[in-house]
């Protein structure tokens, strides 16, 4: 078998070594051409791996179903394998690298038997740009190849840009038996290596995304003086044509994709405001020569959650996914060979196959019982960024976009107000470090379980969390003109457990205050937790909300906050002895202000 499929000796030697272990029938280089992609799609259709959807209604769209035991990221089986345990930190799972390689080698051994090895050269960010980092993923799955072709920039030009360098991320993936008990997603940041075995679900196997662009990249960012963050990037254009960009970090399932593609409410649309999506999940950030922080979205597509996406919540995402898309684990509407998911519309399909591949009976569907869903709650669309109607024209700009504000957020029923501004970069880092989200019992009025998710990066930091916070603090010193840092919470509930704030496009009203603060054109109220808007400074025109409702949304309940501080202290202790002391100082200051 010819293992010399590239002209780079390091790449070829590594492919040969991996092929020796996984024993493929053949080795195929993915060149990024449409002809090759089309041939692979045909093959996947023939094997049943993909189902072709209605060409008129959903041109070039396909449906795929994963194994029923393989539908989401698996944090308990995700490992950071640094030589020293303390470098992975207390929040990550750790395995000693040699032990991990040995253990996984057994699972990989012979796992490609009868199948070719696909070699995917890909770039995160625009090929050749200052931000760009290259990876090669080896996989036995056509589904992975076709998803990577959408999610990253794939092709021979990546190999040309890599040249004869050994500076690339080596990703090895095998579906193997999709065995849950032997599923491992392992990262070796000191070796530029990712090994993923026994899964075929996107977040575990599209190695450019969470594995590389967040876990490995966060490690590289610390070493090289930049940042890899779990953030959307959004541009707001004012009637004069000036565009300000913000990034926002929310935990998974808190509406990042919706905010990234938001449509302005009428009051702003009429005035001529527009919004532009640069990214919906990941931002890489570097200090520019001008002393500002610049961001790119290193991805090339969206791997969005389908359920809940509809004409109201996110029309832009819906339109993006109407062509050239791979749907995973959604329902298959046999009447017109299209797709359906809970929350798409109220027309429950009567002739439909559910995500498990079984006939679905809509009369048995119970909204409160996820097991009766036609589409899996974590079903996805993999869609091209360039099909997004509101894609920013800076999407492919190698320089990225300058960031005016960084927004953190979570899902809190009572504690966090609608919005507040941090007092400084250091205080902003503190605000990010104490981020938390509650499990969604909120709808029933009960307060959910709080999960601390600093900077929305809990599952994605490729090293010790305390070191990560120190890196944020250090970056602040490198940025002459840093973005201002804010915190938002769209999810406050009333005494009946109903959301008070309308959310979705109306979140722009809050962003407008954030931008006004950054421009220095609006005052604020100094509260124990930070600066809050004066209620009259958030435009409520056209909303069914009063100034009193807004006062409620902005209220800081000192007792609840002091209680929360105890949880923060607990969490800091869990993170361990690398928590920067200035964050403890910030916590003490906060407690003092709350007690005054």
Active-site residue set: 254
229 binds ligand OXD (CB under 6 A): no
Pick out residues in 242-261 that bind ligand OXD (CB under 6 A): 252
Q: Which is nearer to Mn ion, 354 or 453 (CB)?
A: 453
Among 131, 393, 127, smallest CA distance to 245 is for 393
The window from 120-128, 220-228, 280-288, 571-579 that contacts Mn ion (CB under 5 A) reads 280-288
Q: Is the dihedral of CA 374, 378, 384, 390 positive or negative?
A: positive
280 binds Mn ion (CB under 5 A): no
Q: Given candidates 49, 87, 281, 467, which one binds Mn ion under the rule CB under 5 A? A: 281
215 binds ligand OXD (CB under 6 A): no
The window from 274-282, 293-301, 532-540, 553-561 that contacts Mn ion (CB under 5 A) reads 274-282
What's the closest the beta carbon of residue 286 comes to ligand OXD, in angstroms? 22
Give the chain's count of helices (H) and strands (E): 17, 30
Q: Which is nearer to Mn ion, 107 or 254 (CB)?
A: 254
What's the closest the beta carbon of residue 232 comes to Mn ion, in angstroms? 9
Residue 137 touches which member of ligand OXD, Mn ion, none, C-beta under 5-8 Å by kind: none
Q: Which is nearer to Mn ion, 112 or 460 (CB)?
A: 460
What's the closest the beta carbon of residue 80 comes to Mn ion, in angstroms? 18
Beta bridge partner(s), residue 451: 437
What's the closest the beta carbon of residue 303 comes to ligand OXD, in angstroms? 6
Q: Given candidates 24, 32, 121, 203, which one binds ligand OXD under the rule CB under 6 A? A: 203
Beta bridge partner(s), residue 139: 118
247-284 burial, b at 16+ Cβ within 10 Å, e below that, comes to bbbbbbebbbbbbbbbbbbebbeeeebbbbbbbbbbbb
d(CA 426, CA 469): 10
121 binds ligand OXD (CB under 6 A): no
- Whose tokens are 């696909």? That residue is 118
Rounded to a whole number of angstroms, the CA Rg of the chain reads 24
In order of 155, 439, 536, the CA distances from 159 in angstroms are: 7, 44, 56
Residue 417 touches which member of Mn ion, ligand OXD, none, C-beta under 5-8 Å by kind: none
Q: Taking CB under 6 A as the rule, which mask of x and - marks residues 302-341 in contact with ligand OXD?
A: -x--------------------------------------
Q: Which is nearer to Mn ion, 138 or 317 (CB)?
A: 317
Contacts by 440-445, CB closer than 8 A, 24 or more apart: 440/411, 442/411, 442/413, 442/491, 442/493, 442/497, 442/499, 443/493, 443/497, 443/498, 444/497, 445/493, 445/495, 445/496, 445/497
Q: Which is nearer to ligand OXD, 27 or 254 (CB)?
A: 254
Q: Which two tokens stand for residue 54?
A: 């209605």
Pick out residues in 274-303 that bind ligand OXD (CB under 6 A): 281, 303
d(CA 325, CA 387): 10
Beta-carbon contacts of residue 193 (< 8 Å; ≥ 6 apart): 169, 170, 171, 172, 187
Q: Which two tokens stand for residue 425?
A: 């970069």
Contact criterion met (CB below 8 Å) for 373 and 342 = yes
Q: Which is nearer to ligand OXD, 3 or 328 (CB)?
A: 328
Residue 73 touches which member of ligand OXD, Mn ion, none, C-beta under 5-8 Å by kind: ligand OXD
Residue 505 touches which member of Mn ion, ligand OXD, none, C-beta under 5-8 Å by kind: none
The window from 16-24, 279-287, 460-468, 486-494 that contacts Mn ion (CB under 5 A) reads 279-287
Pick out residues in 57-96 that bind ligand OXD (CB under 6 A): 73
- Whose tokens are 């916070």? That residue is 469
d(CA 205, CA 191): 19
Q: Which is nearer to ligand OXD, 80 or 206 (CB)?
A: 206
What's the closest the beta carbon of residue 177 comes to Mn ion, in angstroms? 27
- Whose tokens are 């254009």? That residue is 237
Q: Which is nearer to ligand OXD, 281 or 586 (CB)?
A: 281
d(CA 486, CA 156): 42
Binding site for Mn ion (CB under 5 A): 281
Residues interacting with ligand OXD, by CB under 6 A?
Answer: 73, 203, 252, 281, 303
């Amino acid at each position: 078998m010819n293992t010399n499929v590239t002209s780079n000796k390091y790449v070829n030697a590594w492919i040969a070594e991996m092929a020796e272990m996984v024993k493929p029938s053949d080795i195929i280089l993915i060149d990024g051409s449409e002809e090759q992609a089309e041939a692979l799609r045909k093959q996947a259709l023939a094997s049943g791996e993909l189902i072709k959807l209605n060409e008129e209604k959903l041109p070039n769209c396909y449906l795929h179903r994963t194994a029923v035991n393989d539908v989401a990221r698996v944090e308990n089986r995700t490992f950071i394998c640094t030589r020293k345990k303390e470098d992975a930190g207390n929040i990550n799972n750790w395995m000693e690298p040699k032990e991990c390689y040995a253990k996984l080698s057994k699972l990989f051994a012979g796992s490609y038997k009868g199948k070719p090895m696909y070699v995917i050269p890909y770039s995160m960010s625009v090929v050749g740009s200052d931000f760009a980092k290259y990876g090669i993923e080896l996989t036995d799955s056509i589904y992975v190849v076709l998803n990577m072709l959408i999610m990253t920039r794939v092709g021979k030009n990546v190999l040309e840009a890599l040249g004869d360098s050994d500076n690339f991320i080596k990703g090895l993936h095998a579906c193997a038996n999709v065995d849950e008990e032997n599923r491992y997603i392992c990262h070796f940041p000191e070796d530029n290596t990712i090994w993923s075995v026994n899964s075929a679900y996107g977040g575990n196997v599209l190695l450019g995304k969470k594995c590389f662009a967040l876990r490995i990249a966060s490690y590289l960012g610390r070493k090289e003086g930049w940042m890899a963050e779990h953030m959307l990037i959004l541009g707001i254009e004012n009637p004069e044509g000036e565009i300000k960009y913000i990034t926002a970090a929310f935990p998974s399932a808190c509406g990042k994709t919706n905010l990234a593609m938001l449509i302005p409410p009428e009051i702003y649309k009429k005035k001529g405001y527009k919004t532009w999506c640069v990214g919906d999940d990941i931002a890489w950030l570097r200090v520019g020569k001008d002393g500002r922080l610049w961001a790119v979205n290193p991805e090339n597509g969206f791997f969005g959650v389908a359920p809940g996406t509809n004409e109201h919540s996110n029309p832009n995402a819906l339109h993006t996914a109407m062509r050239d898309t791979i749907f995973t684990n959604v329902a298959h509407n046999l009447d017109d060979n299209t797709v359906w998911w809970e929350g798409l519309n109220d027309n429950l399909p009567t002739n439909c196959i559910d995500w498990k591949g079984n006939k679905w009976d809509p009369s048995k569907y119970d909204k409160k019982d996820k097991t009766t869903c036609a589409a899996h709650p974590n079903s996805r669309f993999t869609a091209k960024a360039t099909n997004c109607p509101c894609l920013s024209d800076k999407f492919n700009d190698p320089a990225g976009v300058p960031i005016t504000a960084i927004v953190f957020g979570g899902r809190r029923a009572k504690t966090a107000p609608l919005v507040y501004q941090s007092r400084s970069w250091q205080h902003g880092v503190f605000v990010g470090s104490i981020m938390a989200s509650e499990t969604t019992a909120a709808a029933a009025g009960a307060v959910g379980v709080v999960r601390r998710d600093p900077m929305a990066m809990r599952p994605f930091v490729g090293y010790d969390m305390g070191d990560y916070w120190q890196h944020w603090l250090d970056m602040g010193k490198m940025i002459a003109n840093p973005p201002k840092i804010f915190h938002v919470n769209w999810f406050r509930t009333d005494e009946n457990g109903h959301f008070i704030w309308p959310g979705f496009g109306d979140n722009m009203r809050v962003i407008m205050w954030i931008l006004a603060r950054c421009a220095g054109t609006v005052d604020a109220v100094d509260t124990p937790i930070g600066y809050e808007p004066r209620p009259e400074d958030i435009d409520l025109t056209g909303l069914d909300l009063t100034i009193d409702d807004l006062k409620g949304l902005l209220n800081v309940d000192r007792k609840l906050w002091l209680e929360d501080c105890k949880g923060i202290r607990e969490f800091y202790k869990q993170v361990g002895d690398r928590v920067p002391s200035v964050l403890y100082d910030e916590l003490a200051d906060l407690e003092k202000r709350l007690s005054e």
